[in-house]
Structure 1
Amino acid sequence: MKTMKTSNPKKWLALALGLLLIGTGSILAQSHSYSTDDSMIALEGYSPVSYIEQGKAQMGKKAFKTTYDGITYYFVNPEQQKQFQSNPKKYQPQYGGWCAYAVSLGGKFRPNPKSFRVVDGKLYLFTVNLEGDFVKAWEKEGKDKHIAQADQNWKSMGKFKTF
């Protein structure tokens, strides 16, 4: 009776590493953690240009989309799409689109895209839940204090650490 060699540890390790790299390729291409679901659509489809230029949340259209840093953004019209393409960093939400108040406290919570503030040309999003409206707390406690703390926290927060 012949005995078969059932495993080759080096072969299995190489296979596992290959699958890991394939599965995380799009994640590794991103510069930081973004608040999106598996669709990788930013702001749940709302136009980042509308927030900054018009001060309102407007749903974008699939016909006018652009992918930047592995994330897809939708726009209301081709003019907005061109504005974003000419300067994407201007229109990206702060802290990867995570709730600004939560980031200032050291956490990452998904925001409601209709709960936002634009401060000094930058977009900040907030969580709204049964316990309260985070944008109101952010403003009441001092938005400048929270922005400074969130900026500091964001530098050291884990790339994919989510609460």
Structure 2
Amino acid sequence: MKQLITGAVCAIALALGTHAAQAESTALSTHVVNSTSRGIAMDGFDMVAYFTEGKPAKGKMEHRAEYKDRVWVFSSAENLNLFKENPEAYAPQNNGWCSWAVANGYAAEVDFVNGWFIDDDKLYLNWSEEVKERYLAKKDEMLPLTHANWDQVHSGLQDGTAKFFAHSAKPELGYIHPQPMPES
């Protein structure tokens, strides 16, 4: 009898724990943002630096803000304050997923160092520098597709039905995540 009661208590605890984990998972999936497993958005790159410095910069944990259920880090207090004043102005399009991929109906990781561009005061990220160049060569065709497909791709990321490509699936490319800044 004692084993039966213990088993029932364990089953109830397991069920409640699973329910709590599902509730937490649902809360985090509201915005599927490109982030590390620790919840650091954009591999820790400072999204404001692309606009203010014209190049990527790594953020520092002492300059951080929470946005879309993730931690965003910045290279300076000034960039942090700019982001806090208007996060939508600096956050990348498609929550930081590859613009080329989204235009083609799927999601993919990005190259934060060489795969970025700014168009019409909006930051776009791409799988690699080569993919960025292909995107820009067809920008008039690709941008409308990216905007048209984002809601469907984001929904697929939320429910797990979106096709997704990670750099780790192509180790020959040499990408490491979180992506480091290149040596200068």
Give the secondary-structure state (helix, strand or coil) at the position aligned to 2:151.
Answer: helix
Equivalent position of 1:138 in the other structure: 135
- Specify the alignment match of 1:101 in structure 2: 100
Q: Which runs of 5+ in 2 are unaligned?
A: 165-184
Q: Secondary structure at the match of 1:74?
A: strand
Deviation at 1:31, TM superposition (A): 3.3
How far apart are 1:124 and its partner, in Å? 0.5
> Any stretches of 5+ residues in structure 1 without a counterpart?
none
The match for 2:50 is 51
TM-score normalised according to structure 1 size: 0.82
**Deviation of the 1:109 alpha carbon:** 0.7
Q: Which amino acid aligns with 2:100?
A: Y
Distance 2:30 2:52 in 1: 25
Aligned to 1:39: 38
Q: How does 1:13-162 map to 2 (within 5 A)?
A: 15-16=14-15, 18-22=17-21, 25=24, 27-114=26-113, 115-128=115-128, 133-140=130-137, 142-157=138-153, 158=156, 159=158, 160=160, 161-162=162-163
- CA gap 1:31/1:144 in 2 versus in 1, 3 angstroms: farther
Offset of residue 89 of structure 1: 1.2
User: Deviation at 1:54?
Assistant: 2.5
How many Å separate the matches in 2 of 1:94 and 1:17? 37
RMSD (Å), alpha carbons: 2.6
Tell me how far 1:50 sits from its aligned partner: 0.6
The answer (yes or no) to whether the contact 1:30–1:69 under 8 Å persists in 2 is: no
SS of 2:112's partner is strand
One-letter amino acid matched to 1:45: G
TM-score by length of 2: 0.74
Aligned to 2:167: none
Does structure 1 retain, via aligned residues, the 8 Å contact 2:36–2:42?
no
Once the 2 structures are TM-superposed, how far is the Cα of residue 32 of structure 1 from its aligned partner? 2.2
- What secondary structure, in the 3-state scheme, does the structure 2 residue paired with 1:133 have? helix
Contact 1:55 1:118 in 2 (8 A): no
Aligned equivalents of 2:51, 2:152: Cα separation in 1: 26
Q: Quote how far apart the aligned CAs of 1:17 are.
A: 5.4
Percent identity of paired positions between Structure 1 and Structure 2: 27
CA shift at 1:144, angstroms? 2.7
- The amino acid across from 2:141 in the alignment is K
The 3-state SS of whatever aligns with 2:108 is: coil
- Partner of 1:66, secondary structure, is strand
SS of 1:112's equivalent in the other structure is coil
Return the alpha-carbon distance in structure 2 between the equivalents of residues 99 and 66 of structure 1.
23
